[in-house]
Amino acid sequence: NAGVTQTPKFRILKIGQSMTLQCAQDMNHNYMYWYRQDPGMGLKLIYYSVGAGITDKGEVPNGYNVSRSTTEDFPLRLELAAPSQTSVYFCASSYSIQAGGVRSKNIQYFGAGTRLSVL
Amino acid sequence: DAKTTQPPSMDCAEGRAANLPCNHSTISGNEYVYWYRQIHSQGPQYIIHGLKNNETNEMASLIITEDRKSSTLILPHATLRDTAVYYCIVRVDRGSTLGRLYFGRGTQLTVWP
């Protein structure tokens, strides 16, 4: 059971380049999230999705776009990379309607992160 | 959401209990207390959550005061692997903004040999 898988693990971009951070989960979770974490800080929510075809902005959405065409995948797109987007990006998922046990939409499972530098 | 206040850092000897406090004096009746931790460079990990009763699982215990204005996460026998940043988060578990967790700076727990 892989859980939440993020690719790539590391990336260096030049200013103005674009890229897509990939996130996939195999737990049949309805909710998926993208966070960024700057050095020494807590996580900030970029975008989230409550199901395929439904996305919404979090605290810091500017400069990013997302899509959710399937339950499993939630890619994050950076169109024009800027140095301010240098950060560690975490994808997370939560809540399966079909799952048993303790169910809370706030119990999130995180990927290992993507470390992005924009130079 | 209710704001939480945690000490920036704590330390604990290996094998001893680590007690991490969290103040959430503005918590409302339908808000739960969640604890996560983040080991260096890894994604956060869910530990435990509760509403008003004390909770225990294989990782930790959560003690919530009767007035619900504060809570304590207890790691009963801390190990070096418990060195991490611990986040206390207060959230409702229903409604239109489900699952939107707000992480602050947390408490850096250092377990020493």
A96 versus A3: the higher-pLDDT residue is: A3
Which contacts (CB < 8 Å, 24+ apart) does range A78-82 have? A78/A13, A78/A18, A78/A19, A78/A20, A78/A21, A78/A116, A79/A18, A80/A16, A80/A17, A80/A18, A81/A13, A81/A14, A81/A15, A81/A16, A81/A17, A81/A18, A81/A19, A81/A118, A82/A15, A82/A118
Q: Is residue B14 within 8 Å of B113, Cβ to Cβ?
A: yes
A97 versus A106: the higher-pLDDT residue is: A106
Looking at residue A37, its pLDDT comes to 94
Q: Does position B29 have pLDDT exceeding 70, yes or no? A: yes
Contact B43 A45 (CB under 8 A): no
B1 versus B32: the higher-pLDDT residue is: B32
CA angle B51, B53, B54 (to 5 degrees): 110
Looking at residue B99, its pLDDT comes to 62
Q: Is residue B101 within 8 Å of B38, Cβ to Cβ?
A: no
- Could you read off the pLDDT of A5-49 as tens digits, one per residue? 999 999 999 999 999 999 999 988 888 999 999 988 889 999 999
Looking at residue A45, its pLDDT comes to 92
Q: Do you find a cis peptide bond into A8, omega within 30 degrees of 0?
A: yes
Looking at residue A40, its pLDDT comes to 82
- Could you read off the pLDDT of A74-105 as tens digits, one per residue? 999 998 999 999 999 999 998 755 455 555 66
* Distance separating alpha carbons of residues A113 and A29, to the nearest angstrom: 18
Percent of chain B topping pLDDT 90: 73
- Could you read off the pLDDT of B40-58 as tens digits, one per residue? 889 999 999 999 889 999 9
Chain B residues close to A42, C-beta within 8 Å: 87, 102-106
Whose CA is closest to B72, among B39, B29, B109?
Answer: B109
- φ/ψ of A83, rounded to 5, equals -55, -30
Chain B residues close to A104, C-beta within 8 Å: 32, 49, 93
For B105, the closest of A31, A42, A92 (CB atoms) is A42
* Nearest chain B CA: its distance from A98 CA (Å): 17
Looking at residue B94, its pLDDT comes to 61
Looking at residue A30, its pLDDT comes to 87
Looking at residue B106, its pLDDT comes to 93
User: Residue holding tokens 């130079």?
Assistant: A119
Looking at residue B103, its pLDDT comes to 83
List the beta bridge partners of residue A88.
Answer: A37, A115
Tell me if chain B has a CB within 8 Å of the CB of A2: no
Helix (H, G, I), strand (E, B) or coil at A83: helix
Give the chain A residue nearest B94 (alpha carbons): A105
Looking at residue A97, its pLDDT comes to 55
Tell me if chain A has a CB within 8 Å of the CB of B53: no
